[in-house]
Structure 1
């Protein structure tokens, strides 16, 4: 661990654009940040959700559900891995979470994994996501190509 850990320049640009997306909810900002072959790991379902379309659907929905969303800290592990600690509210529930993001050489997000606590807030999120995009998400998961 001798050298100073910092993200490579392209992932840094992607992260800056990600913060712009989170602040505005503008879906047009999100698509270019995600690899076509990205994998999204939700705290709600066990199996990973492959493909850019599903990730866009989930992420744009989540930014609408979360109230008072804010990032507190960022942790960097090597040139292509970051963890972002966040807090938000869903109705009466306060939650804390971590976004674990892996970038490819082009700076695109290739893996995005979300962890959230406590379980009551996670259940509230699961219910909201199910109500808003449950059928579309199931369809996208069914249509996604199997990982090689």
Structure 2
């Protein structure tokens, strides 16, 4: 099990953030421009852990340095499926973190919920 998965499943955001390189590039399913740096990702992870209900990883696919963590969650009455794509760099820290989610109604629900949390 990838340590990032273990941290998220334990709802330990500090541990998850410690696994991100200080210059990590984070690509969100709801914004076009990537977020750059652990500092920028911090509030996003803290908000999403509160927004996602019934979050659970269902599969983990690994081909170092790449890892795909498939998940399911719910936001209100909207069920969604997604995947966290991680690229691990030298030193074992995540340098690239991309989230993809389906279906479109799930993405809309995520965008609305995150906007409310981060506004």
TM-score, L = length of structure 1? 0.75
Match for 1:87 among 72, 81, 85? Answer: 72
Q: Structure 2: which 5+ residue stretches go unaligned?
A: none
Q: What corresponds to 1:72 in structure 2?
A: 58
Structure with bigger strand share is: 2
CA distance in 1, matches of 2:37, 2:70: 24
Matched, 1:125 2:110: yes
Q: Which has the larger radius of gyration?
A: 1
Q: Is the 8 A contact 1:82 1:100 kept in 2?
A: yes
- The one-character-per-residue Cα deviations of 1:31-62 (angstroms, maximum 9, x if unpaired) are 32010010000000111111101112111211
Is 1:45 equivalent to 2:31 in the alignment?
Answer: yes
Selected match of 2:40 from 48, 54, 66:
54
Q: TM-score, normalised by structure 2?
A: 0.92
Structure with higher helix content: 1
Superposed CA RMSD in Å reads 1.3
Unpaired runs of 5+ residues, structure 1, are 1-11, 135-148
Aligned length: 119
